[in-house]
Structure formats: structure tokens, C-alpha cells
Amino acid sequence: MNTAAEATRTAVRPISRRRALRKSPFGRVMVKLPFWLLIAVIFVYALFPFYWAIRSSFTPEGKLFRTPVQYFPSHPTLANFRGALSASFFQDALINSTIVAGSVTLLSLVVGSLAAYALGRFRFRGRSSVLYLMLSMTIFPQIAILGALYTMINSFHLSDKLGALILSYLIFTLPFTVWVLTSFMRARPGDLEEAAYVDGATPLQVFYKVLLPLIAPGLVTTGLLAFIAAWNEYLYALSFIQSPNHYTVPLAITSFVSPTGSAFAVPWGQIMAATVVVTLPLITATLVLQRRILAGLTAGAVKG
């Protein structure tokens, strides 16, 4: 008898409650539910503030300042974006920040990769002390050298100029770039370079033709990290820049005022639009280069 045989078989095999729960589709959901709930909470927590900035940037000013708060803009508008982007100090800030962050990135990559080449490939006296000096420089706080930088910049007549920012940001991006690129270079085997030397290449040729392509992923990562650091910096920009047409993005974001000039009517719609404008490129770049950034961050962190 078929059914009887089946019945005994199930009776013979001991099935724990837990496993029975896992077997039925409903049970599986019940076991997994808290887990997915947790995931959902993390998702919402990480993304909600950004969503809120987006929804506020699309909500017309009139609807923004009204309670109860709308969770989704019923009449989306681009007015806030238009307002933010037409503010001349914000336009300037976008250009200024691009110039500053761009040159900081470029300079730290050029100098950093050359220095990393020297530190990673050649043996010389004091090499490890140079490396540790670099590392200690990444640790001390920006504020510790603010006074000295402030007087230096004024004596160089760089006050209120973008050059002041480029100079001071390099102090922080360079050690980091050198450190990460050096460890990156050390991880590559030297065979290819030796082959190039045998073929009669000069050290500089080896650097350009062999090493640079090899460490390209490292360059992308450190470049992006340097760019983000320079793009986001606030303390030095606040201290060294006075005139609105030299503002960088973080300064501009905090200096939107209402057309009436009232301190109580902050134009949050425009601020949020500006926020979305400046973060979207960063987020996109980060997501595209996700894997490499993770590698770079952990490399810097584990060794730092």
C-alpha cells in the first residue's frame, strides 16, 4: 500500500520542528522575515535623508513650508533647481570646486606616483622613515596646522585665492596618495620592469610604459578619494576664502539666503536642489567605481 508506506517513512525520519518550519514555504518566509526586515531598515536608514533632499528639491516652495508635511511631491517642479543654478555664487562654486579638486587630484597623482615609484622600487637610506613620516602626517588633524598655514598663505599673498586651497589640500592628499600607491606598487612583481631594463629602457621609461599601466587601478582609486576629499573640504575653505566668487561648493551650500534676506526664511528648496546637484556626480562615480573604492579604503585603513 502506497500511502501506508509513505506514512511510516515520514514517521521514521525524525524531523526537528525547526527543519519542518524551514521546509514549508510559509515557514521559510517566517524564518527569513526578521532578516529581511533588518535589511529593509538599513536600506531606508541609509537612503532616506537623500530621498528627502530629492523630494524637497522637487517640491514647490509654497508646499515646502506647510504642515502636515507631504512625503511625496504632488506637484513636482524644477523651480528650485532653476533658482539654485542661477545663483551666480553657486555657479562659481561649482567651477571653483572643479578647478581645486581637479588640480589637487592631478598634482597628487603625478607627484604621488613618482614618489611611490621611488619608495616602492628603490632601496635607499631612510626609506622606511620617510614612509612612517608620511603615515604620521595623515594622522594629525587639519586644525593643528591652521595657524601656520594661515600666516604662510598670507605671506605668499595667496589669501582669498584658490591657490591657497590647492596648496593646503595637497598637504593632506599627498601623504595618503603616496602611502596607498607605494603599497600598491610593492604588491606588483618586478619582473616586467626587469625585462624592460634588460631591453635598455631608462628608469623614467620604465615608469611610464610599464609601471603606470600596472598601477592604473590604484591611480583611479586614490584619485577619486583625493577628489572627494578636496571637493568636500570645509575648514580651510571657510578660513582662507572670503569673497563669494571664490567660494567652493561646501561654502556655497551653507550661504544660500532668502531673497528677502530674512534669517528665518531659509530657502530650503533651493538648498536641497543644490545638494542634489553636488552629490549626484559623487554618488554616481562612487557607485561606478565601488569595488575599487572599497579596496582602496580598506588598503589605506588596514595598513594605516
Partner 1 sequence: MYPLGKTIYQSFTNQEFLAGLEPTKWVGLDNYCCGAGSLRHDTVFWHSVRKTIEFTVITVAFEFVLGLIIALVVNSNFKGRGAMRAVMLVPWAIPTVVAAQMWKWMLDDTFGVVNDFGTRVHVLSHSHAWIADPGTALASVIAVDVWKTTPFVALLLLAGLQVIPKDLYEAANVDGASKLQQFWKITLPLLRPAILVTLIFRTLDALRVFDVFYVFFGNRPDTQTMAIYDQSTIVGDGHVGYGAAISVVIFLIISLFVIIYVTLTRVKDE
Q: What is the DSSP string of 62-73?
A: HHHT-SSPPSS-
- x-marked contacts with partner 1 along 53-92 as a string, rule CB under 8 A: x--x-------xxxxxx-x---------------------
**CA angle 261-265-268, nearest 5°?**
110
The answer to whether 270 touches 292, Cβ cutoff 8 Å, is: no
Alpha carbon separation from 111 to 69, 174, 282 (Å, rounded): 51, 8, 24
Residue of 28, 49, 75, 110 interacting with partner 1 (CB under 8 A): 49
Alpha carbon separation from 144 to 90, 173, 179, 276 (Å, rounded): 30, 16, 21, 32
Least separation in angstroms between residue 71's CB and partner 1 is 8
Residue of 79, 131, 214, 282 interacting with partner 1 (CB under 8 A): 282
Least separation in angstroms between residue 180's CB and partner 1 is 15
Residue of 104, 115, 206, 249 interacting with partner 1 (CB under 8 A): 249
DSSP for residue 207: I
The answer to whether 80 touches 61, Cβ cutoff 8 Å, is: yes
Question: Does 135 sit near partner 1 (CB under 8 A)?
Answer: no
Question: Does 278 sit near partner 1 (CB under 8 A)?
Answer: yes
The interface with partner 1 within residues 95-114 (CB under 8 A) comprises none
Least separation in angstroms between residue 116's CB and partner 1 is 19
The torsion defined by the Cα of 240, 242, 247 and 248, in degrees rounded to 10, comes to: 20
Measure the N-to-C terminal CA separation of the chain; round to a whole number of Å.
Answer: 71
User: What is the Cα–Cα distance from 298 to 302, expressed in whole angstroms?
Assistant: 6
Question: Does 148 sit near partner 1 (CB under 8 A)?
Answer: yes
DSSP for residue 246: G
Please give the grid coordinates belonging to residue 42.
Answer: 538599513
Q: Which is closer to partner 1, CB of 243 or CB of 290?
A: 290
Total of chain residues touching partner 1, rule CB under 8 A: 68
Give me the half-sphere count of Cα atoms (radius 13 Å) on the Cβ side of residue 212: 13
Question: Does 139 sit near partner 1 (CB under 8 A)?
Answer: yes
Q: Which is closer to partner 1, CB of 214 or CB of 238?
A: 238
Least separation in angstroms between residue 216's CB and partner 1 is 21
Binding footprint of partner 1 on the chain (CB under 8 A): 35, 38-39, 42-43, 45-47, 49-50, 52-53, 56, 64-69, 71, 133, 137, 139-152, 154, 171, 228, 231-232, 234-235, 238-239, 249-250, 253-254, 268, 271-272, 275, 278-279, 282-283, 285-287, 290, 293-294, 297-298, 301-302, 304
